[in-house]
Amino acid sequence: MLVAVPISDVDFQKKLQECKSKGADLVELRVDLFENKDPKHVLHIVNTARELGLGTILTVRSPKEGGREVPNRLEIFREVSPYSDYTDIELSSLDILPEVRKIVKSAGRTLIISYHNFDLTPADYILREVFREARRFGADVIKVAVMARSYEDTARLLCLGRQEEGKKILIAMGKYGILSRIGGFVFGSVITYAFLGEKTAEGQLSLDQMVELKKILL
């Protein structure tokens, strides 16, 4: 299980050094939260992270799934995805998903296709359809992040995800979903997210907590 830390470009040099020294495996570059969204600036941060030995997830999150509007979104994917270890794009971004897939695959990088629901954990048949559609679009890793309103929601996501083929990231958000962030690897989840400074999602644990738990559990 890899530990990823979402960061913006504010004080990124300091944040990257701290992520590395504290034991993170990856940094998720939340470009939609960047102050400077010029592709050259984003690529510089990708290269800086990789020089430090950190893997990178390029994410320009859509406003439809918790992000902010980025007018040059596709340009960023075109210029930066070939150099990032992972690129994350939402299943709902159908207007650019095929082109982003082509960019990532042509560069031999890893494509994460993601689905977020900040309100609830959908019925099982909907979750299975998410997995099916993400595979159809060529996902190397399928990320499903949903809001857990009970421990049953968390258990349902993890058990259903365990039955789905391929690599996946299983996240139940909220206080009832913390278990998914700690023990998701048991159900096949390959990446978990931790925060440095401020949380980017409800139920996240700090990088210090996650690294310590990883040592204990793995």
pLDDT tens column, 143-199: 999 999 999 999 999 999 999 999 999 999 999 999 999 999 999 999 999 999 877
Of 171, 169, 184, residue with least CA distance to 217:
184
**2-217: what CATH class?**
alpha beta
163 is in an annotated binding site: no
Q: Model-level pTM?
A: 0.96
How high is the pLDDT of residue 193? 95
Of 57, 54, 42, 60, residue with least CA distance to 15:
54
29 is in an annotated binding site: yes
How high is the pLDDT of residue 200? 66
How high is the pLDDT of residue 217? 83
28 is in an annotated binding site: yes
User: What is the rounded CA–CA span in Å between residue 129 and residue 67?
Assistant: 23
146 to each of 37, 128, 174, how far by Cα in Å?
28, 13, 9
Distance of CA 149 to the CA centre of its chain: 21
87 is in an annotated binding site: no
Residues with catalytic roles: 116, 143
